[in-house]
Structures are given as C-alpha cells and as structure tokens.
Amino acid sequence: MNRVDIGMRIKKIRLDQLKTQQDIADLCGFTKSHLSKIEKGKVMPSIGVLDKIAESLNTKVSHLLNEDKNSEFVHDHRVDVEKNLIKTAKGYSMFPFAVNHDDKKIQPFYFVTKKDEHQLHTTNHDSDEFIYILEGEMLMKIGSEEFHLKKGDGFYFNARYDHQTIPLTDEVKVINILT
C-alpha cells in the first residue's frame, strides 16, 4: 500500500463516520491542511501521526493500512517487506506487518532510517512501544533522558511521552511494535 492508497483509506473512513477534516485535525493536534495533504497522498504521515489519526477515527493503525482483506494467519515475506517499504515525510521508511489481520492486539513495523535522510522530530502518541535494533545504532530521547541503543538492544516505553529517535550510524534498521 502506498501513501495515495493510505490517504484514500483515511478519507473513506472519515467520510463514512461523517467527520470533517477539521474534526480530525482538531483531535490530532495538527492543521486541516496537513490532513488534506495526507488524504491526497501528497504526504506520508509518520507512525505517530497515523496513530493519532487512527485514534481519532476510533480504529487501529492497521485498519488505516489494510485493504479490507482479513486473514487469520499472515506471512509477510522478506522480499515483500524490502520491496514495499513506505517512505514517510520524516525521511524514514516503514513496512507495517500483518495489515491483513484486523483483530490484532499489536501493530508490528519494520523501520529503516538513514542518517542523512532522517528529519529530526519529536512525537508522542497514545500507545506503548517496543523497539528492537536489528542493525546500526541510534539515540532514543524521552523527555530529558537519552538512551544509546545498539544492535540487539530492546527498548520498551510509554509513547505518550515526547520522544525522538536519532540515527547514530549511516543506517538503522529496527522492529517496532505499537500496542
């Protein structure tokens, strides 16, 4: 699924619920113009923004990303993961695992960020988060605390707090799980 498909899906869900762009923008804490760009596929939102949109629409991030195909078992093949990375407006790429399983309790992602493309930003969203570093090193900032994460490190935190990731190596690959 690409950013145009995701934007159209967000718009469809919003219209099905008889909500305006302003309603959703107000609930998410960003501008109507930003939501319009997302819905038109001009901008791929960050995971934090997707989480806020999902919450404002009383749904899950996976529902915003899936194409109404539900499967009890989902096998995402390595080739598909690498081929279908979605580039976000913040400079990192992501792949949402198991989008064809609507009733999951967690949303796993694969993220790849490159030091020279990553746009520094602080985010927060209403979920818990777990990060496992597959390759590279990054700095995780939560409020005034900093954590240096290396390959093989796991990190669990409450994403409601302002947080920021900063790649320290040229490329960082992580598995990220949201509740």
Tens digit of pLDDT for each residue in 49-93? 898 999 999 988 877 876 656 667 778 888 888 888 888 888 899
> What is the rounded distance in angstroms from the CA atom of residue 140 to the CA atom of residue 30?
24
Q: Phi/psi of residue 165, each to 5°? A: -115, 140
Provide the H-helix boundaries in 57-159.
61-65, 78-83
> What is the rounded distance in angstroms from the CA atom of residue 179 to the CA atom of residue 54?
12
Q: Are 138 and 149 in contact (CB under 8 A)?
A: yes
112-115 — which CB contacts under 8 Å span 24+ positions? 112/85, 112/171, 112/172, 112/173, 113/138, 113/165, 113/167, 113/171, 113/172, 114/167, 114/170, 114/171, 114/172, 115/167, 115/168, 115/169, 115/170, 115/171, 115/172
pLDDT, position 125:
86
Low-confidence residues of the chain: pLDDT under 50: none
pTM exceeds 0.85, yes or no:
no
Q: Give the amino acid at 22.
A: Q
pLDDT, position 67:
60
Domains observed in the chain: 3-65 (1.10.260.40), 78-178 (2.60.120.10)
